Amino acid sequence: MKKFAVIYDEIFLKHNPGIYHPESPQRVQAIWERLQKEDLLPYIDIFPPESATKEEILWNHSEYLYDVISQTKGKSYIQLDPDTATNEYSFDAAIKAVGAQKVALRLLFEKDYEGVFALVRPPGHHAERDRAMGFCLFNNIAIAAYYAKNYYGLKRILIVDWDLHHGNGTQKSFYSDPEVLYFSVHQYPYYPGTGHYSEIGSGEGRGFTLNVPLPAYCGDEEYIYIFETILKPIALQYKPEIIMVSAGFDLCENDPLGAMEVTPSFGIPMLTKILKEVADKTCKGKILFTLEGGYDLMNLQESVANLIFTFLNVKEISQKIIYTKRSEKIEEKVLKPLKDLLRYKAYWEI
């Protein structure tokens, strides 16, 4: 029986940016408890993370940022910016959150796993080269791409960021890099303010950054339509050697920090299914999911469970998507300008 790998360590419960902070230890605790239930536990294998080395972190970040974060070790509370804080365990959690990506790639390329979920915190996709921000210390998914490039020689890496917020840090890491195709769908305008459709990369990387900025209150229909009509055809042309997902679940309905309406029971499984179809055709089914945001505990639990069930084809998706005028509205106001831009400045056939 094919199994799904999960990477987890209790150190991720010890990083605490504050009592009332939304990026709380309870987020991974809730997911961990769901993974232990009898309907899901037989389908997963658990692995511990390793600690990333300084050299590995410096692939994506400056020595200045590394020193700032490392100097928080053993200190009970340091506020790095209005949204981002650390305690005495944050540095250790951060280097293991990065190191979890290294373990994930080993499982994907040296063992017999097709799907891996890095159940880690702090999250990473906002962290820039020399700046921790948006709850993020080091950019986990960006360094995962560097692991893939530097340890496995990959030249075509697809990063799909479905977190509610735009992954400004990840985008900046690969904005001029044609070896990484970064695709983000996100609420816009919203924090951090980046991610307009006109941001498509520069230099040799032009056309390898793709942003789909959405107005608030988009749900299953809009997201599935975007994945089917924009992401899937481009990904099949790109032929990635691995797919990496910045898996934030704050795009789900009722999240306290967002205004999107994707459902854990249908939307998340459908997005997973579309990505798995691409992966099966291009990279032997291999996908790395890394936890980003998501602040409703029930959404986190059920989204991750349904993601794994769908990936392994344990449960079929019974509901069918019916496209309505909501999709037509997104096509006209969001996707048509992006398609027109790509026709002139890139080379994807969509």
Active-site residue identified among 126, 165, 166, 186: 126
Round to whole Å and give the CA distance between 186 and 165: 5
Q: DSSP states of 146-177 as a string? A: HHHHHHH--S-EEEEE-SSS--HHHHHHTTT-
Q: DSSP code of 281?
A: H
C-alpha closest to that of 184 among 205, 162, 168: 162
Q: Is 126 a catalytic residue?
A: yes
Helices (H) and strands (E) counted in the chain, each on its own, are 13, 10
Round to whole Å and give the CA distance between 161 and 312: 21
Q: DSSP code of 48?
A: P
Burial 151-160 (b: 16+ CB within 10 A, else e): eeebebbbbb
Task: State which amino acid sits at residue 93.
Answer: A
Composition of the chain by helix, strand, coil, percent to 5? 40, 15, 45
Active site residues: 126
